[in-house]
Amino acid sequence: MNTISVSIDSKPVQSFFMVVGVTFWIAAWYIFQSTNATTEFLFSLHDIQIESLASKNIDPNQLVLSGETLRDIATKFNNHSNFGVIGMIIAGCFFLLLTLVLSIFNVSVGNKVQASEK
């Protein structure tokens, strides 16, 4: 009788999980940095606009987008972005934890008959 032997080693899976976990962390860091840079740019642009209006003797209170509204929008943007960043960090931790578990236990699946079972 012919038998088919299958053996699955956890080392390639472990490497894949580590790459995925680190990728989640890098993406979370990038999104966090770009969110902060975007809001800082938005505030700088608003300040430049107010200075420009003041130099032309135009009342800055006539702006359609006031400073309070802009800060509310930026705060909501930051909060929603931070929820995504926290989720990505948790997902990265999950994959890195799986990597650690696979490296500690060295999971191997196979259907070879052991010598003691023959």
- What pLDDT shows up at residue 56? 84
CA 72 to chain centre: 24
**What pLDDT tens digit does each residue of the chain (118 aa) get?**
566 555 566 777 888 999 999 999 999 999 999 999 988 888 888 888 888 888 888 777 777 777 778 888 888 888 899 999 999 999 999 999 998 888 887 665 656 555 555 5
Q: Report the DSSP pairing between strands 7-9 and 108-110.
A: antiparallel
- What pLDDT shows up at residue 32? 94
**Is the CB of residue 111 less than 8 Å from the CB of residue 6?**
yes
User: Taking the model in full, what pTM does it have?
Assistant: 0.70
Instruction: Output the 3-class SS for 21-73.
Output: HHHHHHHHHHHHHHHHHHHHHHHHHHHHHHHHHHHCCCCHHHCCCCHHHHHHH
